[in-house]
Structure 1
Amino acid sequence: RLVILVAIAGVVLSGVRVFPEVIVPPYDQIDPLLKRLWLNNVTEAAPMMKAKLSGILAFALFPVLAGIASIVALLWAKDKERDLWILAALTIFISAALAVFWQGRSAGLATTVSGIMSAALIGKLLEQVNFRTALIVAVIVNPIIPGLVGSKVAEYFEPKISKFSTGGGAGCYTERAFSALRVEAPGLIVAPIDMGARILLTTPHQVLAVPYHRNNKGNLAAYRLFLAKPDDAKRMAKDLGASYVAICTKSAEVAILSREAPKGLMAELRDGRVPAWLTPIEKPKGSNVEAFRVNLD
């Protein structure tokens, strides 16, 4: 056995030597500038404990109740069925803890398992108790009501903030918001990271920045252009071969980049000061997307 363990250890160490990225922290490859200005503001990549109380309760109440229900179900479970309820409770509580203390994206696992086990519990109650009890549990332990009630109660104790303080509004992401860009000749658009996927979906254009952490080079190039002073940004746009620049005035990204560089291109565009090398494209009604043609002649 010792020889086998040594052999396994050797294989693992060899793998680490060949693929050293497996032992570095998550998102270690992201440029520090992007990490500070973008990733640290991505809700799902942050622990939920940093969110508002209403946000935590909206997620956590259902898994917690489902986890407790799974433990209660052990009272009548037997043999292998008992093991399944134990596994369910552990999975729910561990994934919920990961979401609260590590990354919010772990919430999906907790919610999924909670939904499955809640349905199983309600079925058990129908089979072994009665319809009324099953209905009461279904009302209490479900994906909507606990979180909705808890979050609404918590909102009364939270300070009111702008709805755009952590993200964009509807005028940033609807198909109509990008309709003016859709009819323009295909080209490369320099836009904030959060707009990238929507531009690819609704227009024929290419983009530099998209909300994927492995797109380090493109995301960084877009951010550097927006943070640069207009004259420097013009040179960058030429080097990149950019055809258009676009921002959404209601996006949190615009506010973040403008605060970072008060004299940068983003701040200038946000305040309506458009440099001569950019020509505004008329935007459709209800859109908060400001788009510009790049003129480098």
Structure 2
Amino acid sequence: MPHAAAASPARIDPRTFLWLLVALAVATMNAPAEIWETIRHLRVPDTDDAMRLAEVRDLLGGQGWYDNVQLRFQPPDGVPSHWSRLVDAPIAGLILALTPLAGRALATGLTAALWPALLFGLYGFVLYRGARGLFGPRAGVLALLAATQTFGVTVQFTPGRVDHHAVQILAILGLGLCMIRGGLRAGLVGGGLAALSLAVGLEGLPYVALGALYLAGDWILRGRPALPAFLGFGLGLGLAAPALFAAQTAPGLWGTTYCDALSPPWLWLAAGGLGTALAAAGPGGRLGSAWGRLALAALCGAGLLGGFALAFPLCLGGPFPGMTPLVRDHWLLTVNEMSSVPTFIARGQWEALVFYPVLAIASLCAAWSAWRGPERRAWSVFALFLWPGLVLGYVQFRGIYVASGLVPLVAGAVIDRALRLAADRAVPARRRWAAAGLSASLVSTVWMAPVVLGVTLAPDVRTAPDPSGALACSGPAGVAALAALPPGTVLAPIFMGPSILLRTPHAVVAAPYHRAIPGLTAAIEGLGGTEADLRRSVAAFGVDYLVACPSRPGDDIRGAPAFATRLARGETSSDWLAPVAVPGVLKVWRVTR
């Protein structure tokens, strides 16, 4: 009797293996301790997250939908927020849904942990569908896997990250995929997503403008076949933008110009886009040459931009009109998200540089593939959004936020191609290794090695403040000590303002927001100047408590150690400041007038 053939060893399906890798990567994106700290102690990664939760809490506490004034910020008048209620609403709804099950405090922590996870799930779904439709199922799974390793993406979906950047990443990713698909329906959806991005925050404005120019240029070159996408985009943007504006803006402010939020200047541009698209569908539909279509588009564009310059000259200088050099130098330019690559290098902040290589390589890959490869429309849209993010990110770190959301699309396609080449032994080994190296370079975690090397070999070049010092002062444990004091107005370091608003009943003079120039000025001058400077700031805002963070003193703006810094060190005292003993690292004084 012949021997039975040996059973072949069981093999796992490659696609199943990739999905298991994705599941493992998603499960390990965030440390359990971080998730628990967010749920239990409302740990948030950034000052903006704390301010968002403070706004949501006020909304749940009865503040009106259209009333976005933070009354405990520079009291008694308060400071109007330029953030969108469209982001506040789902967060507030989730807290309300969880409150009967867990109580308000725990429901807030659960929401802070769940909201970014839910958004990442939606981002992953859109990313997978987009990559699968363009490059195949395996590329879709690989794009998901790459997303879990792309720091520019994961930092926006970490527990406690309830700011609006994740929503903008989703909106612009959706816009890009709609532009690639083309057609009237995709154009309508893309225009609506562009409007949503503008309503949530103006960081997406460059991408919306580029998307409009791309679709207009496509119509100029190809004529009628490209018209439906252009018309749909114009209709979606032109109709959705005013609707979203009205949904979140008090009727009494509909005529007020704000350069930092969706308001008449940007509605003018949206309406101009709608008008241009309608002109393309009307008289433009009879133009048989690209030159004629170019002339029509140029005429519409000149009228649009000329009208903007004449009607809204204030916004030509950017979103921060009225900012003084003092505030710009001692606050704005010191914030990480406003810092440039040379600034990071000069400060020795090597960890920030891990975000840039993958964005640069993805931009190069997209541009090359748009020039030479298949799916040229898709790659041209990728390049259209990646390159501005890289350029803007070089000048200001926050410029990379939206563009990073497209990096996994490029990585998924490139890694998928590298796997195909690796399986084809007819391909020269040199080419297979080059493809493998390119694939690895699109994974952010690979770039941790040179960052660690830089930190290890050149530790002395770091001049940036240690973030642990700020966290010790502004985190839950640090600020909790202030909550036990009778309510009053607090003059504290700027970065502590949102945490104090979130975790205590106190009012604050300063927080890191450009609409609050008087408070920023008072904090910079008061905490960084002489005793007379401090008394002036205290008197101007009726301050009850002075708070100092010993590890993060204010800038010495007078060329000598600031009075508040010497006070925190115990090197001086004053008869109008009575020390208040509180547990923790903070130094606190009660103003005795």
State TM-score, norm by structure 2. 0.43
- Residue number in structure 2 paired with 1:58: 354
Q: Does residue 82 of the first structure (1) align with residue 380 of the second (2)?
A: no
Structure 2: distance between partners of 1:159 and 1:231: 38
Structure 2: distance between partners of 1:163 and 1:179: 29
Q: Does residue 38 of the first structure (1) align with residue 337 of the second (2)?
A: no
- Residue number in structure 1 paired with 2:578: 279
Structure 2: distance between partners of 1:85 and 1:3: 28
Structure 2: distance between partners of 1:240 and 1:154: 45
Query: Once superposed, what is the RMSD of the aligned Cα atoms?
Result: 3.4
Change (3 A) 1:232 1:111: closer
Which SS does the other structure have where 1:246 is aligned? strand
C-alpha deviation, 1:110, in angstroms: 3.3
Which SS does the other structure have where 1:234 is aligned? helix
C-alpha deviation, 1:202, in angstroms: 1.7
C-alpha deviation, 1:23, in angstroms: 1.4
C-alpha deviation, 1:136, in angstroms: 7.4
Which SS does the other structure have where 2:497 is aligned? helix
C-alpha deviation, 1:20, in angstroms: 1.5
Q: Which has the higher helix share?
A: 2
Q: Does residue 179 of the first structure (1) align with residue 480 of the second (2)?
A: yes
Structure 1: distance between partners of 2:385 and 2:303: 31
C-alpha deviation, 1:125, in angstroms: 5.1
- Residue number in structure 2 paired with 1:229: 530
State the identity as a percent: 24
C-alpha deviation, 1:153, in angstroms: 2.7
Q: Is the 8 A contact 2:525 2:557 kept in 1?
A: no
Q: Is the 8 A contact 2:354 2:444 kept in 1?
A: no
Structure 2: distance between partners of 1:123 and 1:7: 43
Unaligned runs of 5+ in 1: none
Alignment of 1:131-146 (within 5 A): 139-146=440-447
Which residue, out of 550, 563, 579, partners 1:265?
563
Structure 2: distance between partners of 1:4 and 1:107: 30
Q: Is the 8 A contact 2:529 2:557 kept in 1?
A: no
C-alpha deviation, 1:130, in angstroms: 4.7
Change (3 A) 1:92 1:204: same
Deviations 1:36-63 (A, max 9, x none): 2222222321321222273464122222
Alignment of 1:1-297 (within 5 A): 9-10=302-303, 12-25=305-318, 27-52=320-345, 54-55=350-351, 57-70=353-366, 77-78=373-374, 81-100=375-394, 102-123=395-416, 130=423, 139-146=440-447, 148-161=448-461, 165=465, 167=467, 169=469, 170-231=471-532, 233-251=534-552, 254-256=553-555, 258=556, 260=558, 262=560, 264-272=562-570, 273-285=572-584, 287=585, 289-296=586-593
Structure 2 counterpart of 1:121, one-letter code:
V
Q: Is the 8 A contact 2:493 2:554 kept in 1?
A: no
Q: Is the 8 A contact 2:482 2:504 kept in 1?
A: yes
Structure 1: distance between partners of 2:385 and 2:364: 12
Structure 1 counterpart of 2:396, one-letter code:
Q
Change (3 A) 1:117 1:58: same
Which SS does the other structure have where 2:589 is aligned? strand
C-alpha deviation, 1:200, in angstroms: 1.3
Structure 1 counterpart of 2:567, one-letter code:
L
Q: Is the 8 A contact 2:341 2:353 kept in 1?
A: no
What stretches of structure 1 move > 6 A for 4+ residues in a row? 1-4, 131-137
Which SS does the other structure have where 1:94 is aligned? helix
Structure 2 counterpart of 1:192, one-letter code:
P
C-alpha deviation, 1:106, in angstroms: 0.9
Structure 2: distance between partners of 1:232 and 1:109: 41
Change (3 A) 1:83 1:194: same
Structure 1: distance between partners of 2:516 and 2:351: 29
C-alpha deviation, 1:174, in angstroms: 1.5
Unaligned runs of 5+ in 2: 1-291, 425-431
Q: Is the 8 A contact 1:61 1:150 kept in 2?
A: no
Structure 2 counterpart of 1:230, one-letter code:
E
Which SS does the other structure have where 1:218 is aligned? helix
Q: How many residues align?
A: 287
Structure 2 counterpart of 1:96, one-letter code:
L
Structure 1: distance between partners of 2:373 and 2:500: 52
Bigger Rg, structure 1 or 2: 2
Q: Is the 8 A contact 2:577 2:590 kept in 1?
A: yes
Structure 2: distance between partners of 1:232 and 1:66: 50
Deviations 1:57-80 (A, max 9, x none): 4122222333344457669953xx
